[in-house]
Structure 1
């Protein structure tokens, strides 16, 4: 049991590190390439490697004949709504502002979980989330970040935060699916949706974004 807890904590920490790095890279590259092209490449690459993993492990993801409504709802919230709002919001705001907004995700997710799932957090969970939030905000603004007061950008980042929090709740509710099945469906949805969006945007702009 302890071994699984340690592995889970390490996996969660690695996930958050990669999330932070992706945020930094997104902020630096969206000024040079189309946001839709960037997102599509992320999901095309991820979907390729997850299928490569399935081939090497000779595993299958079987979802035929099952109720896909929970998976569809999850995919709409994240990656579709979340990544669109995150990318646009990051482009319209400064790194300090977007970083502070996205740092609120654990807090909003905790509130949503309490209201919808009736899963009340422990005192230490509240302290941990609050400490993380305060630390991130202090680190972001201590770096000398500026603001541009883009109300539209704030609103879009707010949508990103809410969509991710609701996604966390829906994942907990979709207990009939394994975590790998949920991840695979999310990657497939992101690859298809953002691939079509990026190609359409490229052709409408008179050139291929890819």
Structure 2
């Protein structure tokens, strides 16, 4: 194993494990009374600011072509749906389980590709989808007050995974010629504008309740957003997208660990089996792809 490969593995693990830290910075802000749309908006604002500084530091122009605008807006809508429903899910079910269910997005990506683009069906894909469904079913029937699970919460996080899968499919199908960092900047920028418009119409943007929440929101924008994305790009360059995707299994593992240590979330054998089935199904799809 070369030094470049080892570095790629480190970046891949860094990307997935930092993404799994989203609950660590989100739940304390929710506990202080901030609603998830406002939390997401501040995440976009802080992340856009940092990304703009990075892009300008690299000498990358922020100009875009007008023909790319509809595609960028579509990507922003899908990303907003994914993020909003994931944060909403944190209100209803334990953060570790929510992240594990969200991790089903490769399964949804496969289903969308088969339905929309007639991608070839195969026994292993069908089997993986069935395994994932069984995993979600196990989580659904294990819901109780003690385990912090609910059917509505699971459905909401499934929509989050579907939203992210739609985002990934759209990224691969739209013809936008720009770097990954620049694309991420504009997805966050337009996502924030759309979100701000929606919040202003219905409730208004909440002020940040305390300096502690400000720190959590800033870390939310930097660690599981900026660092995770930068590490992802570096990992793909060195070890390819397939192995990087496999290392993404650290996302739910990290979130579950955070939930157990910091938020005293209950973790039962049935939940463990459900999550293992979901992760196994996702890994089968990624490796076969």
Offset, 1:171: 0.9
Match of 2:157 in 1: 157
After TM superposition, the structure 1 = structure 2 runs for residues 187-198 of structure 1, keeping only pairs within 5 Å, are 187-197=188-198
CA-atom RMSD, angstroms?
3.7
Q: Distance in 2 between matches of 1:147 and 1:96?
A: 11
Q: 1:13 to 1:117 in 2, by over 3 A?
A: farther
Offset, 1:93: 1.5
Conserved in 2, the CA contact under 8 Å of 1:34 and 1:209?
A: no
* Unpaired segments ≥5 residues, structure 2: 140-144, 209-289
After TM superposition, the structure 1 stretch with the greater mean CA deviation from structure 2, 54-63 or 44-53, is 54-63
Q: Distance in 2 between matches of 1:74 and 1:4?
A: 32
User: So what's the TM-score if we normalise by structure 1?
Assistant: 0.71
Match of 1:46 in 2: 47
**SS of corresponding position for 1:59:** coil
Offset, 1:24: 3.5
Residue by residue over 1:130-187, the C-alpha shift from the partner in whole angstroms, topping out at 9 and shown as x without a partner, is 9xx8xx99xx9xxxx9434433322211210111111111111124333234212111
User: So what's the TM-score if we normalise by structure 2?
Assistant: 0.54
Q: Distance in 2 between matches of 1:108 and 1:17?
A: 22
Offset, 1:5: 7.5
Q: 1:209 aligns with which of 207, 210, 219?
A: 207
Conserved in 2, the CA contact under 8 Å of 1:35 and 1:88?
A: yes
Offset, 1:39: 1.1
Q: Which has the higher contact order (CA 8 A, sep 6+)?
A: 2
Offset, 1:76: 0.6
After TM superposition, the structure 1 = structure 2 runs for residues 5-84 of structure 1, keeping only pairs within 5 Å, are 11-32=11-32, 33-78=34-79, 80-84=80-84
Residue by residue over 1:8-40, the C-alpha shift from the partner in whole angstroms, topping out at 9 and shown as x without a partner, is 665543332221011343234322222222212
The count of corresponding residues between Structure 1 and Structure 2 is: 192
Match of 1:184 in 2: 185
* Unpaired segments ≥5 residues, structure 1: none
Conserved in 1, the CA contact under 8 Å of 2:75 and 2:167?
A: yes
Offset, 1:68: 2.6
Q: 1:122 to 1:4 in 2, by over 3 A?
A: farther
Conserved in 2, the CA contact under 8 Å of 1:101 and 1:158?
A: yes
